[in-house]
Structure formats: structure tokens, C-alpha cells
């Protein structure tokens, strides 16, 4: 459930990598406890950079990031921060550094000083949740790419933080597996009040799982809006080279080319089904 508690307050944030043009410019963003916020934008739009700034992997050039009202760069010790926020890297090889799945997943919790029984409980729970039961003793370098992505996700979940930052966690994961991971994250989000901030290219999944979307383009935050509101503005999305969910695109074509249906376009299969059934029923009545 989204609460009124402000989790992040990002203001006037500018960032450049050394010797490069700005990667993020003038970012102002508020994130509330319990949100499922998606960062959406084409390659190079600044999603990974923003996630890096939200967990202090990167430091702002200008502006500030506040977490629970306190500036991230000044007020939090490393251990304290790991208990509050964890990041799942876009590239799993950047995150995994131990020999086996178990060693990697237990590394963080052990560093937090947890007891062995609690570490064991967390490792077995998260491996089950990411679909890696039976992989515990496997060598990392013998995993497929998708299995490494799942291991990286397990590592972050095992930390037990209330905020999870995820950088395209389902890229390279098969479609059914990707749905399961979205589903699992939504359960953490709803049942454990975990805030999820996720960069993803998976536009079709957004209406099913996310609450708000931050649209980035060329290092600027174009808008932050509830999912429905964002997709009501296809023009804004197209200017940022982002497409509509496939279902909405179909309904847009049906309206514009066939005069069937109307705005706002349904965003999920369930919504489209209801709208199409209504249209067919009304046609049936007209034809009587
Ligand atoms: N280590 C780096 N050094 C220099 N420039 C970088 C570095 N990492 C990213 N950039 C640049 O910063 C900008 C934002 O990159 P970023 O990785 O944040 O984009 P992204 O939205 O995550 O893209 P993608 O969808 O490809 O993951 C891009 O112009 C990119 O070329
Ligand atoms: Mg990225």
C-alpha cells in the first residue's frame, strides 16, 4: 500500500560521468513508501544512473538525494544504508563475486551480522522465491544468464531491506519466468510493504504491476505519472521513443482505422476483453 511517507526526495539532481556530457539533468522526484515505481526510457536515457544515485553508488554533481528526509551522501553509514536499500544490478556479473549461489546469497546477510539460523532461513526463502530451488550449491560461472539474473535478485532480497532498486531484472529471462518475477515482486510490495523502484523495458508488464511511472529521455525526467495517466498520452511516449503496451496499441489501431472502441485505451488483456465484449454485445443489440 502506498503511504504518505516520503521515502526519497530528489531535487535539482545533475550528474555527469567523468569527461562525458550530462547523464542526468535537473531531476526532481519524490518517491513514497510502498510504491511500485517504474523508470521507463530508451537506452542511454539515464535509468541506471538514477538508480546508482538512489543507492549512493554514484554521488550527485549538483543537487541532492534525501532518504527519509536525510541527505544520502552525508547521514548514512554503509551498513545502515544496506539495511534500508538494495540494488539489483542490470548486469549480474557486476554483482556476483563468490564461487557458489549459496555463498553469494548469504554474503550480505552474514555481513549484517545475522545469526546462522536466520541466514539459512533467508537463503532458502529467497532461492525458492526466485525459482532457484536446487541451485544452492551450483557454481556461479556455470549458470545461464537468466539464472545469474535470478541469483542477483536473490542476493538483494536476502538483505531484507524495505526498498529494492531493480535495474531491468527481467531482461534475458524467459516470458513466463519474467511474469513470475513481476508477480513475486508485487507480493513483496503488497504483503511486506516493500517499495520497488524498477527500470524496465517491459512496457506490457507495467499496467499489470506498477503504480507510477517516471519517464526519462536524454537524461531528463519528462513526467512522473500514475500508469493510466501516462498511457493516456501516447504522443508524449512516442516523443520519448517509448511504445504503448501491445494491447493498447491494438485498441488504438482499431479505433483509428475501424472506428471500434474509444479512449482511454485498455492497457491489459482483461480490460481489452471487457471493452471488446461490451462492443460486441452492443453491436448484437443494434442488429436485432
Ligand atoms: N560509465 C560510464 N561512463 C561514461 N558514460 C556513461 C557511463 N555509463 C553510462 N554512461 C552514459 O550516461 C548516459 C545514461 O546512461 P544509463 O546507463 O544511465 O542509461 P540507461 O537508461 O540505463 O540505458 P540502458 O537502457 O541501455 O540500460 C548515456 O548517455 C551513457 O552513454
Ligand atoms: Mg541501464
- CB of 43 shorter than 6 A to ligand 1: yes
As a whole number of angstroms, the distance between CA 143 and CA 128 comes to 16
Please indicate, yes or no, whether residues 239 and 257 belong to a single structural domain of this protein. no
C-alpha 47 to ligand 2 mean position (Å): 5
Would residue 36 count as lying in a domain?
Answer: yes
The pLDDT score that the predictor gives to residue 284 is 67
Q: Which domain range does residue 59 map to?
A: 6-243
As a whole number of angstroms, the distance between CA 98 and CA 141 comes to 10
The pLDDT score that the predictor gives to residue 238 is 92
Please indicate, yes or no, whether residues 68 and 183 belong to a single structural domain of this protein. yes
Would residue 180 count as lying in a domain?
Answer: yes
Please indicate, yes or no, whether residues 206 and 106 belong to a single structural domain of this protein. yes
The pLDDT score that the predictor gives to residue 84 is 97
- CB of 52 shorter than 6 A to ligand 1: no
Would residue 82 count as lying in a domain?
Answer: yes
The pLDDT score that the predictor gives to residue 286 is 66
pLDDT averaged over the chain?
A: 93
| Structural domain total, the chain | 2
Please indicate, yes or no, whether residues 36 and 62 belong to a single structural domain of this protein. yes
As a whole number of angstroms, the distance between CA 168 and CA 92 comes to 11
C-alpha 73 to ligand 2 mean position (Å): 22
Please indicate, yes or no, whether residues 232 and 271 belong to a single structural domain of this protein. no
pLDDT in tens, 170-182: 998 999 989 999 9
Please indicate, yes or no, whether residues 62 and 35 belong to a single structural domain of this protein. yes
- CB of 45 shorter than 6 A to ligand 1: yes
As a whole number of angstroms, the distance between CA 196 and CA 155 comes to 15
Domain boundary among 207, 225, 243: 243
Is there a contact between 147 and 132 (Cβ–Cβ < 8 Å)? yes
Please indicate, yes or no, whether residues 163 and 269 belong to a single structural domain of this protein. no
Domain boundary among 243, 261, 278: 243
CATH code of the domain covering residue 128: 3.40.50.300
The pLDDT score that the predictor gives to residue 53 is 98
Residue of 27, 44, 59, 199 to mutate, ligand 1, most atoms within 8 A of C-beta: 44
Please indicate, yes or no, whether residues 144 and 280 belong to a single structural domain of this protein. no
Residue 57 grid coordinates: 553508488
- Listed residue (119, 157, 123) closest to 137, CA to CA: 123
Q: Whose CA is nearest to atom 29 of ligand 1?
A: 44
pLDDT in tens, 110-148: 999 999 999 999 999 999 999 999 999 999 999 999 999
Q: Can you give the pLDDT of all 288 residues of the chain as single tens digits?
A: 666 799 999 999 999 999 999 999 999 999 999 999 999 999 999 999 999 999 999 999 999 999 999 999 999 999 999 999 999 999 999 999 989 999 999 999 999 999 999 999 999 999 999 999 999 999 999 999 999 999 999 999 999 999 999 999 999 899 998 999 999 999 999 999 999 999 999 999 999 999 999 999 999 999 999 999 999 988 899 999 999 999 999 999 999 998 888 888 999 999 999 988 988 888 766 666
- DSSP string of the chain, one letter each residue: ---S-EEEEEEEEEEE-TTS-EEEEEEEEEEETT-EEEEE--TTSSHHHHHHHHTTSS--SEEEEEETTEEHHHH--HHHHHHHEEEE-SSGGGT--SSBHHHHHHHHHHHTT--HHHHHHHHHHHHHHTT-TT-TT-BGGGS-HHHHHHHHHHHHHHTT-SEEEEESTTTTS-HHHHHHHHHHHHHHHHHS--EEEEE---TTTHHHH-SEEEEEETTEEEEEEEHHHHHT-HHHHHHTT-PPPHHHHHHHHHHHHH--S-SSPP-SHHHHHHHHHHHHHHHHHHH-
Q: Whose CA is nearest to atom 27 of ligand 1?
A: 43
Q: Which atom of ligand 1 is nearest to the CA of 52?
A: 18
| CA distances in angstroms from 28 to 65, 214, 231, listed in the order given | 9, 11, 21
The pLDDT score that the predictor gives to residue 2 is 62
Please indicate, yes or no, whether residues 278 and 230 belong to a single structural domain of this protein. no
Would residue 252 count as lying in a domain?
Answer: yes
Please indicate, yes or no, whether residues 162 and 262 belong to a single structural domain of this protein. no
The pLDDT score that the predictor gives to residue 283 is 76
Is there a contact between 159 and 82 (Cβ–Cβ < 8 Å)? yes
Q: How far is CA 123 from the centre of its chain?
A: 22
Would residue 1 count as lying in a domain?
Answer: no
| CA distances in angstroms from 140 to 96, 99, 101, 143, 221, listed in the order given | 8, 6, 6, 5, 36
Ligand index nearest the alpha carbon of residue 219: 1
Please indicate, yes or no, whether residues 88 and 110 belong to a single structural domain of this protein. yes
Q: What is the largest CA-CA distance in the chain?
A: 73
Q: Which atom of ligand 1 is nearest to the CA of 45?
A: 21
CA dihedral 196, 269, 222, 51 (to 10 degrees): 20
C-alpha 69 to ligand 2 mean position (Å): 27
Would residue 229 count as lying in a domain?
Answer: yes
- CB of 46 shorter than 6 A to ligand 1: yes
Q: How far is CA 26 from the centre of its chain?
A: 22
Would residue 138 count as lying in a domain?
Answer: yes
- CB of 23 shorter than 6 A to ligand 1: yes
The pLDDT score that the predictor gives to residue 149 is 95
Please indicate, yes or no, whether residues 115 and 41 belong to a single structural domain of this protein. yes
Would residue 168 count as lying in a domain?
Answer: yes
Amino acid at each position: 500500500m502506498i503511504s504518505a511517507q516520503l521515502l526519497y526526495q530528489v531535487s535539482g539532481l545533475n550528474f555527469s560521468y567523468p569527461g562525458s556530457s550530462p547523464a542526468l539533468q535537473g531531476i526532481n522526484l519524490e518517491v513514497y513508501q510502498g510504491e511500485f515505481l517504474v523508470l521507463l526510457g530508451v537506452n542511454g536515457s539515464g535509468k541506471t544512473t538514477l538508480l546508482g544515485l538512489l543507492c549512493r553508488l554514484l554521488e550527485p554533481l549538483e543537487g541532492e538525494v534525501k532518504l527519509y528526509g536525510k541527505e544520502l551522501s552525508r547521514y548514512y553509514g554503509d551498513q545502515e544504508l544496506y539495511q534500508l536499500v538494495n540494488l539489483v544490478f542490470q548486469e549480474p556479473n557486476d554483482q556476483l563475486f563468490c564461487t557458489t549461489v549459496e555463498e553469494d546469497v548469504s554474503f550480505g546477510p552474514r555481513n549484517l551480522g545475522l545469526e546462522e539460523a536466520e541466514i539459512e532461513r533467508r537463503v532458502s526463502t529467497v532461492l525458492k522465491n526466485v525459482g532457484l530451488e536446487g541451485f544452492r550449491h551450483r557454481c556461479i560461472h556455470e549458470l545461464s544468464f537468466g539464472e545469474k539474473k535470478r541469483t542477483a535478485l536473490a542476493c538483494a532480497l536476502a538483505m531484507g531491506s524495505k526498498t529494492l532498486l531493480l535495474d531491468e531484472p527481467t531482461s534475458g529471462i524467459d516470458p513466463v519466468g519474467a511474469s513470475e518475477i513481476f508477480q513475486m515482486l508485487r507480493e513483496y510490495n503488497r504483503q511486506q510493504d516493500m517499495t520497488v523502484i524498477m527500470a524496465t523495458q517491459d512496457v506490457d508488464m507495467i499496467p499489470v504491476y506498477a503504480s507510477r511511472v517516471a519517464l526519462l529521455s536524454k537524461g531528463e525526467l519528462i513526467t512522473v505519472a500514475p500508469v493510466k495517466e501516462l498511457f493516456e498520452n501516447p504522443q508524449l511516449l512516442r516523443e520519448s521513443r517509448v511504445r504503448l503496451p501491445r494491447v493498447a496499441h491494438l485498441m488504438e489501431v482499431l479505433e483509428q482505422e475501424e472506428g471500434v472502441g474509444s479512449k482511454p485505451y485498455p492497457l491489459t488483456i482483461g480490460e481489452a476483453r471487457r471493452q471488446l465484449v461490451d462492443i460486441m454485445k452492443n453491436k448484437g443489440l443494434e442488429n436485432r
